[in-house]
Structure 1
Amino acid sequence: MQVNGKMNKVYEQSGQKIRCTIERLREWLRQVASEHQGEEVVFICIGTDRSTGDALGPLVGSRLAQSGLKVIGTMEEPCDATNLEFRISSLRKEEVTIAIDACLGHPGSVGQYLVSYSSLQPAESVGADMPAVGQYSIACVVNVNGPKPYWTLQTTSLHHVMKMADDVAGAIIESFLPQPSINPNHLPYK
């Protein structure tokens, strides 16, 4: 993912998905945030609260919205197959967009993330035809892809999805919101 301390430009130009752990996701998010300092960033959190596996996007969106980041897609107002096109039609050309969605993958990929310097194709694993979303994307592998993807998403562990959602939201907040500086002279201990 990194070559000599810099993001690999081959991935950037190809739009290839990079499989990574939460630590690598944090590095990738810091890189994206540094490339867009001062620009308005919108997080498009795709999914529904009606399926445990597919609730990851709205869970992330709710946490980001509570932190003051600009979000489309929360638990209260999901961005899903029924309204995706309408919800993204409000985006302005100058806004930087990062799409976040749950996905199914290979057994060795469950719990990992697929990041890309290109758009995300929502509902790809269930065969739905939806528009590609985002200039950047994060697909979170919540379970194994198989012959019954809808059933797999419905029966995915809610605990696992919530843990991944917390990790993603935390990494985004850490990367895109200014962190307060800590003065060592004001610590309660020395």
Structure 2
Amino acid sequence: MPFRLKPHKPYSFFIEHTERSGSKLFADQLHDQLAKETHRPIVLVCIGSDRSTGDSLGPLVGTFLEERSVRNIHVYGTLTKPVHALNLVETLHEVQTRFHRPLIIAIDACLGRLSSVGYIFFSEGPLAPGAGVQKELPSVGEYNIKAVVNVSGFMEMMILQNTRLHLVYELARFITDGFAEFDSRIGRLPQEEAAITRLRQSRDESKS
């Protein structure tokens, strides 16, 4: 009897940046989704500009992660070298040239409903940067992370320009803490595997 395969439902998770132990929960989700892909280079493309308060989320995350010296994540987009509309295509070409089968995760600020301001959304699928401000740019990533920094409506560019830096800073810190925790976990994976192997060998020797 013929049957239909159920369509794949893309993964999606969201959390408010003020939630208690929220960064750890965020790291848990990153680990659950991405740990199986750690054989591939993990590349964060942090999109945004330091010339707009609301749009500075991506460069802030990139800068904070560089300061944390993450070992297993490659970061593009910082306050010093932001990734924005003018160099996005060039940056993506560099990533694809430098890495073999990179797992790209795009990070960007966005506007949304009032009830969503302060939330971080982690989803499977590419990010469409610039869509909220009517810019046509290439889609980015296999996963995307969006942080809602202000309310959408008319004059989005003006809204981004007048977004509170404190909120953007806190959202960027939240995302950074989650990725730093995730980085430390996947950095421990080889050691944990070695410890498990030694334990199994010890048990086998005791049985023989």
Question: Which TM-score band applies after superposition, normalised by the shorter structure?
Answer: 0.7 to 0.9
Q: CA deviation at 1:76?
A: 0.2
The aligned residue for residue 62 of structure 2 is: 61
Q: Secondary structure at the match of 1:102?
A: strand
Q: For residue 126 of structure 2, what is the aligned residue in structure 1? A: 119
Show the counterpart of 1:89: 93
Q: Please identify the structure whose Cα radius of gyration is greater.
A: 2
Q: Aligned ranges for residues 45-60 of structure 1 at < 5 Å?
A: 45-60=46-61
Q: TM-score, normalised by structure 1?
A: 0.82
2:84 alignment partner, one of 60, 80, 83: 80
- CA distance in structure 2 between the aligned counterparts of 1:62 and 1:32, rounded to whole angstroms: 24
Correspondence 1:157-172 to 2 at 5 A? 157-172=164-179
The whole-number CA distance in structure 2 between the counterparts of 1:123 and 1:42 is 20
Any conservation in 2 of the 1:57–1:165 contact (CA below 8 Å)?
yes
* 1:72-109 deviation line (CA, Å, top 9, x unaligned): 11100000011100111112351111100000001110
Kindly provide the amino acid, as one letter, of the partner of residue 88 in structure 2.
L
Per the normalisation by structure 2, the TM-score is: 0.75
Matched residues in 1 for 2:111 and 2:78: separation? 21
Q: Equivalent residue of 1:78, what SS? A: coil
Q: Distance in 1 between matches of 2:49 and 2:62?
A: 11
The list of structure 1 runs, each at least 4 consecutive aligned residues, that deviate by more than 4 angstroms after superposition, is: none
Q: 1:103 maps to what in 2?
A: 110
Q: How many residues align?
A: 170
Instruction: Specify which structure has the higher proportion of helix.
Output: 2
Provide the residue aligned with 1:7 in structure 2: none
Q: CA deviation at 1:32?
A: 2.4
Give the unaligned 5+ runs of structure 2.
Answer: 1-5, 189-208
In the aligned structure 1, how far is the partner of 2:59 from the partner of 2:76? 9
Distance 2:147 2:44 in 1: 14
Spell out, residue by residue over 1:113-155, the C-alpha distance to the aligned partner (whole angstroms, 9 max, x if none). Answer: 1221111000111010001001110011011101110011000
Q: Does 1:173 align with 2:180?
A: yes
SS in 1 for 2:38: coil
Summarize the Cα distance change of 1:64–1:80 in structure 2 as closer, same or farther, 3 Å threshold: same
What's the % identity of the aligned pairs?
A: 35
**Kept in 2: contact 1:40–1:96 (CA 8 A):** yes
Matches of 2:155 and 2:12, distance apart in 1: 24
Q: Distance in 2 between matches of 1:17 and 1:29?
A: 11
Aligned partner of 2:183: which letter? F
Map of 2:191 onto structure 1? none
